[in-house]
Amino acid sequence: MYKFFRSILFLRDPEKVHHFTLKALHKALKNHRVSQWWQKKYAVENSALKTRVFGLDFKNPIGMAAGFDKNAIAYKDLELCGFGFIEIGTVTPKPQQGNPLPRLFRIKDDEAIVNRMGFNNDGVEAVAARLKTRNTPLIIGGNIGKNKETPNEDAVNDYEICFIGLFPYVDYFVVNVSSPNTPNLRELQEKEPLTKILQHLQDLNNKQPLQKPILLKIAPDLTDSQLDDIIEIVQTTKIAGIIATNTTIERKNLKTTEKKLAKIGAGGLSGKPLKERSTEVIRYLHTKSNGAFPIIGVGGIHSAKDAIEKMEAGASLVQVYTGFIYEGPQLIRNINDGLINYLAKKNKK
């Protein structure tokens, strides 16, 4: 059924479809009978799925990655789709419109998406105001970034503003320095500036009566040497873990023609083509660190098999985004059902 609707929706502009779908879903789920039916169809309740990671209890290990619910308007509806946690954002101190339109593109032949959104969001004050009315035990993460006009040397101030503004309302934080769509942002992944930002946030965190986990989201395009630096930075700053990975700037081994890709232009690629590289990064970090910190695996998860591969590589939790666009809410049910079967077989051995 979803693929029938998808074939119609995919005829329209991706960003407009995104906003239309969120509004339509919210309107439909306002009806109590519809929401009950929806939750029964897609959400899975099973004790085997419960997972405790960096001090938080997740009802299942499947999350929605940042970028889908940038402004904290859809997390309640997404919970009914069966997610165990939602990551809102990326949130910046000031509201910003992001990059010029069009900035979101489907690459259907590769079951992928290219985006160059540019941290379009309502700003930390508006997002925090929405989360004040939060009345669900669903775990919510806050993905934070810097405004486009903020120079890199002042970036730590932007991260601090977002950290303080969202602190009462989210369960964990994600420092985003790996989006390819804000000019020079990825330079903050270098050892010195990254350590400065993370250590500053940890110092703020340690002053709170109850600390909250801080994670770092990294690009899939880092070299092994850079990944070694990441491991060292995690150990130095004592942040809670890593999200691997963000979108890629690579365009290798795609079915889509170079002509079409050139027409789309720059942006971060997500979806199936990212699956193997993100899993490689997870495995490298987990192996080289001897499993010293939790990893949330994201990139190219379109099936239960894909999610299990990430976990076998070392991920404690996983997130989806593009797979949800292509497969619909049934994907979350399939992954959770697949994990229950996988864990049952694993426990019998």
Active site residues: 179
Give the Å distances, CA to CA, from 164 to 46, 112, 175, 202, 217.
Answer: 35, 35, 13, 12, 19
Give every CB contact of residue 342 below 8 A, 6+ residues apart in sequence: 304, 308
Of 179, 190, 70, whose CA–CA distance to 124 is shortest?
A: 70
How far, in Å, CA of 119 to CA of 72, rounded?
14
Looking from the CA of 204 toward its CB, the CA atoms found within 13 Å total 21
Give the three-class secondary structure for 197. helix
DSSP letter assigned to residue 154: G
> Sign of torsion, CA 262 266 270 273?
positive
Q: What is the rounded CA–CA span in Å between residue 225 and residue 23?
A: 44
Q: What is the dihedral of CA 226, 228, 231, 237, to 10 degrees?
A: -70
Number of H helices, E strands in the chain: 13, 13
- Cis ω for the linkage preceding 90 (within 30 of 0): yes
Specify the amino acid at residue 116: R
Instruction: Give the C-alpha separation, 30 to 213, whole Å.
Output: 33
